[in-house]
Structure 1
């Protein structure tokens, strides 16, 4: 009978003896990674084309508005109006980025690794949501800052003019944050339901664009109350209604705002808050079930 010839080789594996940073650092790393993913940073050149094309478009529009104002002295677009005008770009940005943040992980099967300690399941969803909200706010907020700087340096009213511009841009940045919260929460929830990025993107676009005709139908109903509440049927129009209540003629000239939403401004604000809260709750529930598989 031949003697055993097996040999045990020491290939240098060692236990990790460095610092274990814990839950907060894992959450932060996942958030930063998600924010970089949103803009294609650290990825291939192909992944950078669409997000930076969108960034370029919004910055060019902001620069054009600033240039016209500096030459004519007339503001062709308010800060709040800029946010509303760019909404169609935001929809497609979310439709592309949200599936990249969550659908890819579902398809590749890496979630069990993420959900191992010390990262709870809810932290994963909140980190991805925070990254998308930040990316959208930067997308809408940075061009407003370009417009503000252009107006501040060309104002003829000195320091008073700068303060006036500051009083206009700060509420608009908060308005942009609300857009970011609503679009990110709705988009990420839809994307988390499927591992196929094409299906996720289609669902996100449908949620924002396919609901618009419903608003059109409700707005021509014979009931004035139904007309004034019609914008509740679409997330995009819901946010526009909040803007009408908050900014009035800075979004729609004259008395158009009162004609469109009547006295239901606070109702629209409450609906926006409930929409965000509901989507976040469903998103957390979704990942609690995914992790249990």
Structure 2
């Protein structure tokens, strides 16, 4: 009869005695990984194609506008800094539709959220890192053309004070746009673990709402109800930004008739934007409280 015995083998594992980097490091790592991932960096070559193409397409028109200004010896740029993101909103929508689901849908689909929360990272860290990373990626996409316009304007020897003021106003505008659009896109994408559904839903929310609001605004203007035009702008993300920058940043409005909201209505626009950003963050926190269990 043989007697079973238990043996402990020393296979060379050692306890970790290095520094414990903790929660802040984990949060920064998640932020940087998500930010780089929005442009496919650190991922496969296939993942880099769409964001890099969109980044290039966003920048090329700015370079063309600068070339036109230089060639014609214009006194100002053909397009205001605050108008650039409004004109290129379709590209912004495509970028968010591709990257918002990529940022959150895979973690939901493969149920890896509890693994994050088993580390020194909490729900608020995950949401803040993802929100901040996508907003930063979108800001880079929308601010880069403005930098090209500004540098080109200075090389064309346009008025320094006017260009610097316009550039600053444009940066404030795209910063607000980046935070607002990223929050909305992340909420939509976080509602489904299916990336394809997330892509379609983000496009629908950002583009269909703009088309519907613009149509109704045009009808109101044709029906001699210009006062309703500015209030209808509250129901679409891009018209919210358009109205806010018209009221406070000296931008020209794309609303029918070219008349945007005044200062009083602009305060309402600002409050709605802040409420949407805060609401998006709250919805994300609630969503990840459930899936993180």
Q: TM-score, normalised by structure 2?
A: 0.91
Deviation at 1:224, TM superposition (A): 4.4
Deviations along 1:89-146, one digit per CA (max 9) or x if unpaired, are 1111001001111101111221111112410111101100100000000101111111
Deviation at 1:52, TM superposition (A): 0.1
In structure 1, what is the equivalent of residue 107 of structure 2?
Answer: 105
In structure 1, what is the equivalent of residue 55 of structure 2?
Answer: 55
Matches within 5 A, 1:55-204: 55-74=55-74, 75-155=77-157, 161-204=159-202
> Is residue 229 from structure 1 mapped to residue 243 from structure 2 by the alignment?
no
In structure 2, what is the equivalent of residue 37 of structure 1?
Answer: 37
Match of 1:209 among 207, 210, 229: 207
Deviation at 1:166, TM superposition (A): 1.0
Tell me, in whole angstroms, the C-alpha distance in 2 between the residues paired with 1:96 and 1:53: 12
Please list every run of 5 or more consecutive structure 2 residues that lacks an aligned counterpart in the other structure. Answer: none
Tell me, in whole angstroms, the C-alpha distance in 1 between the residues paired with 2:229 and 2:150: 35
Alignment: residue pair count: 286
In structure 2, what is the equivalent of residue 279 of structure 1?
Answer: 280
Which shifted more, 127-136 or 269-278? 269-278
Deviation at 1:7, TM superposition (A): 4.9
Q: Contact (CA 8 Å) 1:244, 1:257: kept in 2 or not?
A: no
CA RMSD of aligned residues (A): 2.0
Q: TM-score, normalised by structure 1?
A: 0.91
Tell me, in whole angstroms, the C-alpha distance in 2 between the residues paired with 1:273 and 1:51: 28
Q: Contact (CA 8 Å) 2:28, 2:129: kept in 1 or not?
A: yes
Tell me, in whole angstroms, the C-alpha distance in 2 between the residues paired with 1:283 and 1:40: 24
